[in-house]
């Protein structure tokens, strides 16, 4: 039952990421192909890069067609559901944040399961969550958003660390997952509502 719940969250997160890819394409006036590529890349890019780096190929979404179907659905949903999407903005932001939190934790788990070091697992958790957006921005010929705005990646980093603490000290996967994800969600909410940023301006 827990795993069904996680799978549902995973698909919802994937859908919201894909919709954000379609929006990026519309903003750039790309055509249908551009919209589809950005939907795929935003939704699956982070996990794909993680799988390639840790050597888990064929990459994981190739084994479950639901990821492809849900991403394909992002196109008609964005096209016909503009008004609804606009109304549901807050819910979408919630699912986007849940998606980020979940992708972080799943990335950490998968890396640990391969026997790699916890430091690598933290890195791969963050990569899973944020690199879809980075690749989307690179393909749109823009500077990656996470290099400037919000403490998006930092929230994932803290969540990944917290998951490790739960994993090694309390040895309870479900509780570690929940705690870690809740912290990521809270940090992102606070960061957005209070406009936290991480400045880095050494004088040269």
- 8 or 119: whose CB is closer to a second copy? 119
To a second copy, the closest distance from the beta carbon of 119 in angstroms equals 6
SS3 118: helix
To a second copy, the closest distance from the beta carbon of 185 in angstroms equals 18
Sign (positive or negative) of CA dihedral 84, 90, 95, 99 = positive
- 9 or 129: whose CB is closer to a second copy? 129
Which residue, among 133, 144, 129, has the nearest Cα to 180 in the 3D structure?
129
- Under DSSP, the state recorded for 168 is I
Kind and range of the H or E run holding 62: none
Which residues contact a second copy (rule: CB under 8 A)? 23, 25-26, 28-35, 37-38, 48, 52-55, 57-59, 62, 65, 68, 75, 78-79, 82, 86, 114, 116-117, 119-120, 123, 134, 138-144, 146-148, 151-154, 197-204
To a second copy, the closest distance from the beta carbon of 192 in angstroms equals 15
SS3 197: coil
Euclidean distance between CA atoms 24 and 43, whole angstroms: 12
- 5 or 58: whose CB is closer to a second copy? 58
Tell me how long the chain is.
Answer: 204
- 1 or 65: whose CB is closer to a second copy? 65
To a second copy, the closest distance from the beta carbon of 100 in angstroms equals 14
């Amino acid at each position: 039952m827990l795993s069904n719940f996680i799978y549902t969250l995973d698909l919802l997160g994937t859908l919201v990421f894909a919709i954000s890819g379609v929006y990026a394409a519309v903003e750039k006036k790309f055509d249908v192909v551009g919209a589809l590529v950005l939907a795929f890349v935003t939704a699956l890019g982070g996990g794909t890069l993680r799988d390639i780096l840790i050597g888990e190929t064929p990459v994981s979404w190739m084994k479950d067609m639901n990821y492809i179907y849900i991403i394909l659905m992002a196109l008609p949903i964005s096209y016909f559901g503009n008004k609804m999407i606009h109304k549901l903005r807050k819910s979408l932001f919630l699912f986007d944040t849940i998606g980020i939190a979940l992708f972080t934790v799943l990335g950490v788990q998968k890396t640990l399961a391969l026997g790699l070091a916890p430091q690598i697992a933290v890195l791969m958790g963050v990569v899973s969550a944020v690199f879809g957006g980075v690749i989307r921005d690179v393909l749109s010929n823009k500077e990656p958003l996470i290099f400037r705005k919000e403490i998006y990646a930092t929230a994932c980093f803290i969540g990944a660390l917290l998951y490790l603490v739960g994993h090694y000290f309390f040895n309870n996967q479900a509780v570690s997952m929940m705690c870690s994800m809740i912290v990521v969600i809270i940090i992102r909410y606070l960061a957005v509502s209070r406009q936290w940023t991480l400045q880095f301006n050494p004088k040269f």
